[in-house]
Amino acid sequence: MQKYSKIISTGSYLPDKVYTNHDIEKFVDTSNDWIIERTGIEKRHIASESESSVDMAHAACIDAFKNCAIELKDIEMIVVATTTPERKFPSTAVLLQNKLNNNSAFAFDINAACTGFIYALDIADKYIKGGFVKNALVVGTEKITSLLDWKDRNTCVLFGDGAGAVVLSSSDTPGIISNTIGSDGSYKDLLTVNTDTEVIEMKGNDVFKIAVNTMGKLAASTLEKNGFKVEDLDWLIPHQANSRIINAVAKKINLPEEKIVMTVNKHGNTSAASIPLALDYANKQQMIHKDNIIMFEAFGAGFTWGSTLLKF
Ligand code: UT7
């Protein structure tokens, strides 16, 4: 049995094309002021027609391997969190594996909407701790703008595309300290993409309230069950859906704003990609450092939710 799994490298990719709020004002009845005030979003990246969630995942993984202690051939497991696969099958993870020229890993997708990355990390962590694999690649990738009705101002201003990746390896020291995941399918219709319309439909206000309550409780219980106080936390890296949700959750646990990694202003809501994108941003900006105590937390369609407590 391995003792812990540890993130040893991070990477990300954002498409070149950017829509600012002012760009969106041109085709839907909204305003830069409304979007900033209600969501904190200033801009988002949009994948090109020919760019898929596999292409973005591939670019994020190449980035993660630029400065990594292990090589791609050492990866034994690839888990991709996405709600926007390139094909119905084979999975995004298998298509990614092929693009990465790795033919030794086993690869599969998971769908837990915006919580997907935490679910994927939990699975990979358990494989490593169980001693089944030593090195895993965990990816969140989304071409979520392909699911938008660009005439619906309730949703089209909120989302963006991108991908983030981490290399997770076995370690004698922490590493991931704990993961918690949960779901409740009775909320299935509050945030959904139905197969007949294929666009995101959301009861935003209801989602907002449940997200704040659920993530507030989850953050508190994650710290408590691991014997941590909020002062022990160096950084909260939350799912980036809305700055008001993030700030409300931080307030519930008395976490100062300076300890929040906030990227929703730059990326919008990138669903399963949002936490690994924010993590890589904080890493490249040298905001986070070795041995920092970090908490991830997310909430998404289903509803699903999850948290990870880790030493970086
Ligand atoms: O990632 C998974 C989880 N997803 C989330 O966490 C998203 C959760 N929800 C939210 O972030 C927020 O509920 C929204 C940003 C979606 C909406 O903010 P809100 O403060 O809850 O606004 P609302 O839905 O209550 O709407 C307030 C008003 C409405 O007008 P009336 O009915 O008061 O006249 C909307 O029609 O704002 C209007 N509105 C807009 N106005 C300008 C809604 N969208 C827009 C828009 N531009 N884009």
Q: Atom 38, ligand 1: which residue's CA is nearest?
A: 154
Q: Which two tokens stand for residue 310?
A: 């880790």
Q: Are residues 64 and 14 in the same domain?
A: yes
Distance 58 CA to ligand 1 centre (A): 33
The CATH number of whichever domain residue 262 belongs to comes to: 3.40.47.10
- Domain match, 95 and 186 both: no
Residues with Cβ within 8 Å of residue 283, at least 6 apart in sequence: 10
Tell me: do 227 and 287 sit in the same domain. yes
Regarding beta strands 200-202 and 191-193, do their DSSP bridges make them parallel or antiparallel, or are they unpaired?
Answer: antiparallel
CA atoms within 13 A on the CB side of 1: 5
Output the CA 81–ligand 1 centroid distance in Å.
Answer: 26
- From 87, 145, 92, select the one nearest 116 (Cα to Cα): 92
206 and 287 housed in the same domain: yes
How many domains, in total, are found in the chain? 2
Q: Tell me the pLDDT tens digit for each residue of 256-282.
A: 999 999 999 999 999 999 999 999 999
Q: 291 and 233 in one domain?
A: yes
Which ligand 1 atom minimizes the distance to the CA of 274? 1
pLDDT for the residue 67: 87
pLDDT of 2: 67
Pick from 149, 156, 205 the residue to mutate for probing ligand 1's pocket: most ligand atoms within 8 Å of its CB: 205
Instruction: Show which of 155, 171, 187 is a domain's final residue.
Output: 171
Name residues contacting ligand 1 (CB within 6 A). Answer: 30, 34-35, 38-39, 114, 153-154, 157, 204-205, 207-208, 211, 241-242, 245, 269, 299-300
Show which of 171, 193, 210 is a domain's final residue: 171
Residue 186 and residue 165 in one domain: no
Q: Whose CA is nearest to atom 42 of ligand 1?
A: 30
Same domain (yes/no): 190, 151: no
Do 264 and 295 reside in the same domain of the chain? yes
CA-nearest of 24, 29, 35 to 244 is 35
Output the residue whose Cα is nearest ligand 1's atom 30: 154
> Tens of pLDDT along 217-257?
999 999 999 999 999 999 999 999 999 999 999 999 999 99
**Of 171, 196, 225, which one is at a domain's C-terminal end?**
171
pLDDT mean across residues, the chain: 97
pTM over 0.85: yes
Residues 99, 38 within the same domain: yes
205 and 290 both lie in a single domain = yes
- Rounded to 5°, the CA angle 115-118-121 comes to 150
Q: CB-based burial of residue 1 (10 Å sphere; 0-12 exposed, 13-18 middle, 19+ buried)? A: exposed
pLDDT tens digits along 128-141? 999 999 999 999 99
Name which residue sits closest to atom 26 of ligand 1, judged by CA: 205
Residues 108-161 have pLDDT tens digits of: 999 999 999 999 999 999 999 999 999 999 999 999 999 999 999 999 999 999
Mean pLDDT (whole number) for 54-70: 97
CA of 211 to the centre of ligand 1 (A): 14
Q: How far is the CA of 298 from the centre of ligand 1 (A)?
A: 19
**Residues involved in catalysis:** 114, 239, 269
Instruction: Give yes or no: residues 147 and 229 share one domain.
Output: no
Residue type, 295: M
Range of the domain at 303: 176-311
Residue 25 sits in the same domain as residue 105: yes
Mutate which of 28, 208, 213, 299 to test ligand 1's pocket (most atoms within 8 Å of Cβ)?
208
